[in-house]
Amino acid sequence: MSEKTASETASGSPENAGAGASLIDGKAFAKNLRQRTADEVRAFHEKHGVTPGLAVVLVGNDPASEVYVRNKALETHRVGMRSFMHMLPETTSEASLLHLIERLNEDPEIHGILVQLPLPKHIDPFCVTNAIAPNKDVDGLGEVNAGRLMTGLPGIIPCTPLGCLMLLKSELGDLRGLNATVIGASNLVGKPMALLLLNEGCTVSICHIDTVDPAAMSRTADILVVATGKRGLVKKDWVKPGATVIDVGITRIPTEGGKTRLVGDVDFDEVAPIAGRITPVPGGVGPMTIACLLRNTLKAARMSVGDKACKESGDKNWLPY
């Protein structure tokens, strides 16, 4: 997508001079996607008199989660949707959270429901995500949507892996026959990412905490997706020359002068000269997550009125690409 090469944004050390990996500009892609969503929200309202509504629930005061949910609300408004925020205290019981979800499930003004994770320890996240009505489960984490992805049926796809897949398809086109390695096996990113790549015809390996030699598995990959939360885990000897590298990790680290900066799970300065394409952190996968959440909310609103616009606009199997 971007004409910029990784060497223009790497730290500028001499060994990076002339490095060739092109940067995958997730920020620009997400901006385009949000614009398209805003246009479609307007057209949807004109056709049906319905404004898509997204409810976001946060339990507790985790500072990072507070920033995420506020950004979600802001972006929801920006594309012309309605945002309903529920900020609940840390002491909220599982029963009262489930009661709120029941109310949101029945509310016709709400088309999408997201409960921000992680939840406080006394609340079972599986019980909560499965309480969300499948057609409002815009995170795609409940067992119905997860099962649909597993069996290759149309459903709602988790936002971060969906964003990664959109970037990959826009960069590489047809993914059939490519070797893909996903590092990290979470329900939120790693597992759905692997299934999406499998459904696209890739040969997929998944590495996790017990994998004996993740570097060797990674070196086989034409597509390497990394989602572990371990900053700088992936070094240059993990990467096949020319591979497309998608870095989902976001860790905030302190820098000199009391400031902070974001880094990924991939050692960017080492890997960028070897990779064919790479997502930066920040500005790669991060902006895609909220853009895809908005896409999923529009899709849920369309499903609520039986609108086939997804199909009409060329979306394969209602996938909101």
Of the chain, the end-to-end C-alpha distance in Å amounts to: 16
CB count in 10 Å sphere of residue 321: 17
Residue 248 sits in the site that holds ligand GUN (CB under 6 A):
no
Residue 116 sits in the site that holds ligand GUN (CB under 6 A):
yes
**Cα pseudo-dihedral 167, 302, 313, 35, rounded to 10:** -50
* Residue tagged 């223009």 (tokens): 8
Interatomic CA distance for residues 96 and 135, integer angstroms: 22
Residue 119 sits in the site that holds ligand GUN (CB under 6 A):
no
Select from 232, 213, 225 the least CA-distant residue to 180.
225
The angle at the Cα of 291, spanning 287 to 297, to the nearest 5 degrees, equals 150
Task: Output the residue with the shortest Cβ distance to ligand GUN.
Answer: 117
Query: Restricting to residues 2-31, which ones interact with ligand GUN according to CB under 6 A?
Result: none
Per-residue exposure over 117-126, b if at least 16 CB sit within 10 Å of its own CB, e if not: bebbeebeee
Query: Restricting to residues 276-305, which ones interact with ligand GUN according to CB under 6 A?
Result: 289
Residue 131 sits in the site that holds ligand GUN (CB under 6 A):
no
Choice among 139, 222, 265, 267 that is catalytic: 139
Q: How far is the CB of 124 from ligand GUN (least distance, A)?
A: 14
Residue 114 sits in the site that holds ligand GUN (CB under 6 A):
yes
Residue 139 sits in the site that holds ligand GUN (CB under 6 A):
yes
Choice among 25, 72, 137, 247 that is catalytic: 72
Residue 160 sits in the site that holds ligand GUN (CB under 6 A):
yes
Residue 92 sits in the site that holds ligand GUN (CB under 6 A):
no
Q: How far is the CB of 159 from ligand GUN (least distance, A)?
A: 5
CB count in 10 Å sphere of residue 64: 10
Residue 159 sits in the site that holds ligand GUN (CB under 6 A):
yes
Measured from the CB atom, is 59 or 188 closer to ligand GUN?
188
Is 116 considered catalytic here? yes
Peptide bond into 120 cis (omega under 30): no
Residue 113 Cα to chain centre, angstroms = 16
Query: Of 113-121, 171-179, 227-235, 258-266, which part binds ligand GUN (CB under 6 A)?
Result: 113-121
Collapse the DSSP code of 111 into the 3-class scheme (helix H, G, I; strand E, B; otherwise coil) and give the result: coil
Residues annotated as catalytic (active site), given as ranges: 72, 116, 139
For ligand GUN, the binding residues (CB under 6 A) are 114-117, 139, 159-160, 188, 289
